[in-house]
């Protein structure tokens, strides 16, 4: 049994694919943010120590003294922007995907995708490709797209709007999971 999917690759598909590939569990994002904040505090403590104010003396004054007496608003804004980007990596990725779409070789072309027991067959106007099921590294559900990731920044987006009649997200996921390794990471 095979599953046929056809659609025109649009900017919306590219943005969804870009966002899905950077999507990570919240716990991992929080851990990365905590490590980053610890590193910043260590750098500030070192700056305070070099400025002649050890951390043990008035720790509440460390940040202003390390930055020359006041905390510039631009520095505070930078910390907030970096924290938001770490907690919501899809945001910057969506902007980059939106802006870079026209440089994608298959922008606005029709895709034909066939999922069968042998793997995934993809065809466009100028190229065709085959991906074996064992090459999949992650299965990602992102809003109205299911992404089959074959690398950290490579994947194939399957928009739900392109599914054949009678096939929904759950049926597509079940179809893919039946053909992949049992321990394939599944990101929702």
Q: Give CA–CA dist 30/26, Å, rounded.
A: 6
Pair (160, 181) in one structural domain:
yes
For residue 31, what are the contacts with CB-CB under 8 A and spacing of at least 6? none
Query: Is residue 163 a part of any domain in this protein?
Result: yes
**Lowest mean pLDDT, pick from 79-93, 145-159, 170-184:** 79-93
Cβ atoms within 10 Å, residue 94? 17
Query: Mean pLDDT, to the nearest integer, of 91-95?
Result: 80
Q: How confident is the model at residue 59 (pLDDT cuts 50, 70, 90)?
A: low
Q: 167 lies in which domain range? A: 3-23+100-187
Residues 155 and 140 sit within 8 Å (Cβ to Cβ): yes
Is 107 a residue whose pLDDT tops 70? yes
Pair (120, 174) in one structural domain:
yes
Residues 15 and 101 sit within 8 Å (Cβ to Cβ): yes
Residues 15 and 144 sit within 8 Å (Cβ to Cβ): no
Q: Which two tokens stand for residue 174?
A: 């079940």
Q: Which DSSP helix (H) or strand (E) runs through 148?
A: strand 145-151
pLDDT on residue 61:
52
* Residue 6 β-bridge partners: 112
SS3 assignment, position 167: coil
Query: Mean pLDDT, to the nearest integer, of 141-168?
Result: 87
Pair (80, 159) in one structural domain:
no
Q: How confident is the model at residue 93 (pLDDT cuts 50, 70, 90)?
A: confident
Question: Rounded mean pLDDT of the chain?
Answer: 81
Query: Is residue 176 a part of any domain in this protein?
Result: yes
Pair (65, 151) in one structural domain:
no
- In percent, the amount of the chain with pLDDT more than 70 equals 83
pLDDT on residue 101:
87
Q: 1-46, pLDDT tens digit by residue?
A: 788 899 999 898 888 888 888 887 778 878 888 888 888 777 777 7
Domain end position, chosen among 88, 115, 137:
88
Number of domains in the chain: 2
pLDDT on residue 120:
93
């Amino acid at each position: 049994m095979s599953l046929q999917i056809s659609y025109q690759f649009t900017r919306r598909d590219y943005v969804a694919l870009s966002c899905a590939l950077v999507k990570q569990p919240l716990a991992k994002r929080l851990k990365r943010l905590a490590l980053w904040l610890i590193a910043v505090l260590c750098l500030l403590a070192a700056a305070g120590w070099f400025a002649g104010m050890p951390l043990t003396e008035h720790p509440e004054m460390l940040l202003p003294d390390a930055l020359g007496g006041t905390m510039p608003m631009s520095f505070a804004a930078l910390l907030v922007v970096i924290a938001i980007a770490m907690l919501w990596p899809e945001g910057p990725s969506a902007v980059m995907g939106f802006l870079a779409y026209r440089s994608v070789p298959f922008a606005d072309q029709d895709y034909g995708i066939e999922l069968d027991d042998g793997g995934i067959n993809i065809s466009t106007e100028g190229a065709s490709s085959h991906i074996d099921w064992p090459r999949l590294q992650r299965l990602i559900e992102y809003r109205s797209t299911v992404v089959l990731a074959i690398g950290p920044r490579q994947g194939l987006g399957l928009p739900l709007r392109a599914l054949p009649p009678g096939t929904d997200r759950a049926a597509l996921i079940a179809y893919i999971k039946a053909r992949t390794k049992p321990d394939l990471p599944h990101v929702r």
